[in-house]
Every structure is written in structure tokens, then in C-alpha cells.
Structure 1
Amino acid sequence: MVSRNLFVISGNVSQTPRQFGDKALKTVVTIAVDEFWTDRESGERKKRTDFLTAYTFNKKIGDFIQAHAKQGYQVTIDGRIRSNSYEKGSERVYTTDLEILRIDAHPPRSEASSGDLE
């Protein structure tokens, strides 16, 4: 049986991406992902937004994120899920992390189409 560790996220950049380390070793971006559904009892349309944080240690991808994934831009991220743990005081903390392998970024529709009309 073949196994895969892959995720795809499509949403909007919710904060300015951040780089960490002297040589920008780690780049972190937070994505807002909306979920819509219709309430069965009231028939009302509902929405929930999840804020997901993804990272990369790849300098080329990190530089692309800094240059092209501005707040409000639409992005699609492909990557893999990583499990990690660290000590915080006397307790072990376990995390599930999203590692970016590929990213596409597009400006908001109003910004992308504003230059097309002239």
C-alpha cells in the first residue's frame, strides 16, 4: 500500500508573513480558510473561519512568500504535515505543523483587475 503525507490549503493571507533567523531560515505565513454551510433547522447560511499557520525552511519559497504573499492575497499551499514536540517547563508539548512545499499567490480580485480597465 502506498502512503502519502499531503495537504492542500486555499485561502487568504491573514497577516504579513514573518521570517526568522539571521539569514531568514524560517518563513511563517497565516492563512484564513472559510467554511460555509446551511443550518438544517433555520436554513440560515453560516460561516466559520479557521486561521492556519504554515512554515518553510526553504529560502527560495520563503523569499517568494515575502515578495508575493501579502496580507489579503489568495494563496494555495501544498505541503506535508509534521509532528513535533518540545519541552515547556516540565511538560512535553506536542504540535502538528504544516510544512510548505509549494505555494501560489494571487492578489485580491479588485487589485488584480484594477489595471485591466484602462
Structure 2
Amino acid sequence: MRSINRFTVAGNVGSVTSFNKAVKVSIAADRHWTNDAGKKETRTDWVTVTVFDDQAAWIKDNVSKGQPVIAEGRISNSSYEKDGETVYTTDLVATTFNAFQVANANTSD
């Protein structure tokens, strides 16, 4: 059987951090459910999305905090050393990244 590593996240941008040829976009994706007591609950998952090259340059210039986005790609685990400690990360490495304009509530038709 062929294996697949493909994930999609849709949510709102929390931050965009630029690096040399990449950007890391923090995306807030909300989960909603009803608990056992019948109360509606919401939790936010923060997903780090890494984007490279030309697409990264476009994101740096055109994407901002709060903007709705959708990204698709593969999950990648890595680690690095910081202050003598190993820091483990899990990122979605994007092959597709789309940003949407926020509708202006004050605009009339």
C-alpha cells in the first residue's frame, strides 16, 4: 500500500515570522463540540506552517495577523538546540497556501 502524508489546516493567522528563504505562519484553528453536560465548548489549536521560496516571499508581503488562510502540505518533525536544551517541533510544510481577504463589515452593497 502506498503511504500518504497530507494535512490541511484552515484558520486565522496569529503571526508571520520571516527567515532567509522561508516563513513560519502560526495559524489558529478552532475546534467546537458539545460536552457531556450539553454545554458548547471551543478550543484553539495553534498550527505552525512553514512555507519556502517564492511563496514565502509573497506571504511576507501580503499576509497579516487575523487574516483567514488555508494551507495544505506534509507534517514534518524536527529538533534544534536552544540554551543547551533540545527543542522538538512539528510543522506543516506547505505545498499550497491561500489567503483570503477579510470582509469589511462597513461596506454596503
Structure 1 length normalisation: TM-score?
A: 0.79
Gaps of 5+ in 2: none
* 1:72–1:107 Cα contact (<8 Å) kept: no
Question: 1:87, 1:45 → 2: CA distance?
Answer: 40
Q: Secondary structure at the match of 2:55?
A: helix
Equivalence for 2:76: 82
Identity of aligned residues (%): 35
In structure 2, the CA distance between the partners of 1:39 and 1:79, relative to structure 1 (3 Å rule), is same
Amino acid at match of 1:102: T
Q: Secondary structure at the match of 1:54?
A: strand
Question: 1:71, 1:85 → 2: CA distance?
Answer: 26
Give 1:73 shift: 1.0
4+ residue stretches of structure 1 with deviation over 3 A? 91-94
Select the residue among 41, 47, 62 that pairs with 2:42.
47
Question: 2:89, 2:12 → 1: CA distance?
Answer: 23
Question: 1:44, 1:110 → 2: CA distance?
Answer: 31
Amino acid at match of 2:55: I
Select the residue among 32, 35, 43 that pairs with 1:36.
32
Give 1:87 shift: 3.8
RMSD (Å) for aligned C-alpha atoms: 2.0
- Larger strand proportion of the pair: 2
Matched, 1:19 2:18: yes
Amino acid at match of 2:23: T
User: How many residues matched?
Assistant: 108
